[in-house]
């Protein structure tokens, strides 16, 4: 048992020596705990050498963007990726993989401006493109009364349209 533990420890130490390949790999602190968000380059092989490899990669990324288990993100990310995936080079695809590796609740708060994203996330060109589209849609299709102030959570309930003084439009 001790030799297994030592082998596992050596393996873990060797993994720590391998630098991440992507310039957008992230290390962030959130709510007092540290989460490591690395794009796993082994899981997504960015091979754009042939038309078949490019098609497979595009389909895999499109699937990952549409099947997150968070309906709002499925719609936002899926539509954005479908519109832009064919024109992306290898660097942008790696940046997209890093965005897809982010946790759903954090990503949604950052995209909608509820919370300020970490610097490593806000410097990702794919994230900034998606965020500008989301914020543009929110600003053009959503009444300001129904949105929370930047940095503040939206805490009103579903029944806040009651009465004459409630908002007439919005995203409830």
**Per-domain residue ranges of the chain:** 19-146
pTM for this predicted structure:
0.62
User: Is 90 exceeded by the pLDDT of residue 29?
Assistant: no
Distances (CA, A) of 122 to 17, 56, 79, 150: 26, 28, 20, 16
- What is the per-residue pLDDT for 31? 32
pLDDT for residue 94 = 92
Q: Is 145 exposed, middle or buried (0-12, 13-18, 19+ CB in 10 A)?
A: exposed
Least confident of 28-42, 104-118, 129-143: 28-42
Comparison of pLDDT for 104 and 167, the residue scoring more: 104
Greater confidence, 52 or 13? Answer: 52
* Cβ–Cβ under 8 Å, residues 51 and 42: no
19-146, superfamily in CATH? Flavinator of succinate dehydrogenase (1.10.150.250)
pLDDT digits (tens, 9 = 90+) for 51-92: 888 898 999 999 999 999 889 899 999 999 999 999 999 899
Confidence of residue 130 (pLDDT cuts 50, 70, 90): very high
Amino acid 137: pLDDT: 86
The beta strand positions in 60-135, using DSSP E, are: none
């Amino acid at each position: 048992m001790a030799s297994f533990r030592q082998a596992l420890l050596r393996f873990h130490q060797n993994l720590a020596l391998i630098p991440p390949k992507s310039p957008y790999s992230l290390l962030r602190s959130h709510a007092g705990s540290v989460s490591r968000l690395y794009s796993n380059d082994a899981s997504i092989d960015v091979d754009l050498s042939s038309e078949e490899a490019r098609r497979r990669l595009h389909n895999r990324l499109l699937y990952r963007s549409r099947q997150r288990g968070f309906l709002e993100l499925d719609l936002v990310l899926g539509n954005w990726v479908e519109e832009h995936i064919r024109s992306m080079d290898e660097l942008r695809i790696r940046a997209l993989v890093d965005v897809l590796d982010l946790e759903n609740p954090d990503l949604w708060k950052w995209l909608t401006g509820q919370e300020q994203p970490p610097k490593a996330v806000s410097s990702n060109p794919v994230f900034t493109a998606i965020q500008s589209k989301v914020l543009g849609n929110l600003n053009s299709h959503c009444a300001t009364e129904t949105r929370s102030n930047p940095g503040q959570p939206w805490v009103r309930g579903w029944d806040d349209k009651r009465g004459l003084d409630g908002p007439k439009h919005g995203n409830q």
